Amino acid sequence: MNETTLCKPLRRRTLGWVLLEFFGSMNLAITLLVVVAIASVIGTVLQQNQSYPDYILKFGPFWFAAFNQIGLYDVYGTGWFIAILAFLILSTSVCLYQQAPGMLREMTRFRTSVQIDSLRGFHQQAEWWLPDHDSRTVQADITSAFRGFGYRWRIQDHGDHQVIAVMKGRYNRMGYLLTHAAVVTIGVGGLLDGNLWLKLKEWRGELAVETRDLSAREAPPISRLAPGAIPTFRGNVRLPEGSAANFVFLRVRDGFLVQELPFAIELKEFQVAYYDTGQPKSYTSEVLIHDQEYLGDQPLAATIRVNHPLVYRGYAIYQSDFGDGGSKLELKAWPLTTARAEPVAAKGEVGGVIKVGGPTAGALSLELDDFRLFNLLPEPNAQPGDRQFRNFGPSISFKLRDAVGAAREYLNYMAPVQIDGRWFYLSGVRAQPGAPFSYLHIPVDANNSPERFLRFNARLHDASGLRKLLALPAAGGDPDFQRDLNQVRLNLVELFAQGGFMAITEKAKAVVPAERLQEATALYLNLLRETLAEVFVAVLREEGVSVEQELGERENAFFNDALSALAARPAYGSPFYLQLTGFQQVEASGLQVTYSSGAVVVYAGFALLIVGVFLMFYTSFRRLWAWLAVEDGAVRLILAGTGNRRPAEFAREFAALQTALERRLGSPLSPPPSLSPADTLKEAH
């Protein structure tokens, strides 16, 4: 290189060339691929498009807001994921555009222009000096050996020497091209099969996510999608038995869209079977497809089972889940905070809301959430380690929501449950979704009813009735003392009815010196128990039960269980106990309808990926050269080669090929001393 060359100005690179080099960078493609992989892992581990309250409960308000800001609840529909996927497709396409011509030439070129010194530099090489052979015979022996090892060759005559260029496994290069093409194809299929179309419609203002609690019929037109409006979607619908729907709901962030279907799905019958553990074993839906355009007046009958979807007109209908479809319920609401002992009868259906409340409870909404016919739960009396289950019978779950929107969730069983030899009506309550239920155990009377306990509870809220019951004749005692004692007893009962035993303890702390607190608390609790026992006896006598000086064993056990329930009632949070007395079950099937125009593209991409990976990892591109020249009446043969994968295997193959040639040509011999390396190099040039 001289001074003139150094001073020559560099050619200015154009913007297009710079962009092409940037997008075709392997580092960029790998970085984008890693980011897409990490985002896909997040989207797989974290359930997508769930209700926002579930995410708040799982992560807390701070992290919920942080994750929502970066779109982790809808990873595949976020703008940044779509942009990264699009850049990955662009980068890989540019890389494919740059590399494909060279690799295709590499697959077809035999490279017959090689130098002798280059061949001698290969790690795998051998040399023969054949004084008793002619070049035609040597060439025939070499090509015969190449044929035996599966090589293809081409012979080039350069005048003073000949070159036989050989190669095998050229489709290994095609593996690289197919792998890159697979990434592009899968990426395009991902864009076609993702939320790109919804995003485009949102960005153009053609679509708005509905966040209000509306039915499909009430959804506004801007939140509805006509059939064929987008090429791909995945939506859900829950159908009660005997009902039909021609739409599905698409969950998007904190709201939904209504996707209309070109046909209607009618649920004729739903069936579910359970394991002994209470887990569903199988569930099936007998459906009818109504499509006037394709089927006319004759519907298509089909059965949909788990992992056995119905595919109709390119729409795949899966059995996803099941639940209640609006069962009709007969209820009794027993007051818990008033002196009224008679229940209020009511009727409702799952999914409905009943307005309840009064002067003391305030305005409340009773939201009937679910009905379950079977509840197979672990046996409460089982020994540790025993896997015993019992059917606890029908149950209802509901929420009580106050005027400001705060709600408690309840779970009430219809039939009494035997625990430790005694029978109870169970009512669970929790203040937060996902938290465990705390159960109120209401003891069952001789008539298999909660009535005795509830009348006992009502008595404790009847101040005038308690005064009459606790009033003692003035003879034989100080009337003033007796009046004061009765007032103390009434106060204790009132405190107990409002706050349980904890209220009694707190009252003692407030009025009794610390040194006498334990003694006074014990006195209050004993006095309270005696008073409650008198009230309970009065309840028994109203039933016609003969009660002597002491309670019998059965009545005493009931009294103790009733005290436990009364002590837990203030934390129960409901002004009434809701008893399920009758029902008409209506089951519903949860169906998922998917339509994917990009599925075929994704499948084709995976097919390309499988073939490409196989070619890359299970084939090896190998080249060999045989250099022949006639020198001083003898034939000089140089054999050399290289492989791009598995060098140890190629070394064994080269050694086997060399052995095969030695059997035909003899062992390699050194050239005569008269031929120096300088002369050899000169002849090579």
Q: What is the pLDDT of residues 125-145, one digit of tens each?
A: 999 988 878 888 889 999 999
Together in a domain, 561 and 500: yes
Q: Does residue 252 form part of some domain?
A: yes
Together in a domain, 426 and 466: no
414: left (phi over 0), alpha (psi -120 to 50) or beta: alpha
Together in a domain, 89 and 116: no
Burial class from Cβ neighbours inside 10 Å (0-12, 13-18, 19+) for residue 75 reads buried
Question: Tell me: the pLDDT tens digits for 73-106?
Answer: 888 878 888 888 888 898 888 888 888 888 888 8
Q: Does residue 176 form part of some domain?
A: no
Are 352 and 327 in contact by the 8 Å Cβ rule? The answer is: no
Q: How far apart are CA 104 and CA 93, in angstroms?
A: 16
pLDDT at 565 over 90: yes
Q: pLDDT band at 671, cuts 50/70/90?
A: low
The Cβ-side half-sphere exposure at 273, using a 13 Å CA radius, reads 6
Together in a domain, 416 and 484: no
Q: Does residue 181 form part of some domain?
A: no
Question: Tell me: the pLDDT tens digits for 229-248?
Answer: 898 899 999 999 999 999 99
Are 660 and 145 in contact by the 8 Å Cβ rule? The answer is: yes
Q: What percent of the chain has pLDDT over 90?
A: 39
- What is the per-residue pLDDT for 675? 43
pLDDT at 1 over 60: no
Q: Does residue 433 form part of some domain?
A: yes
Q: Does residue 57 form part of some domain?
A: yes
As a whole number, mean pLDDT of residues 487-516 equals 87
Q: How far apart are CA 685 and CA 681, in angstroms?
A: 6
Q: Does residue 576 form part of some domain?
A: no
Together in a domain, 412 and 518: no
Together in a domain, 40 and 80: yes
Together in a domain, 469 and 439: no
Together in a domain, 101 and 118: no
pLDDT at 474 over 60: no
pLDDT at 485 over 90: no
- β-pair partners for 121: none
Alpha-helical regions (H) of 544-552: none
pLDDT at 5 over 60: no
As a whole number, mean pLDDT of residues 346-375 equals 83
pLDDT at 457 over 90: yes
This model's pTM is above 0.75: no
Q: Which structural domain range is residue 248 located in?
A: 207-322+589-597
Mean pLDDT, all residues of the chain: 86
Structural domains of the chain, count: 5
Together in a domain, 223 and 316: yes
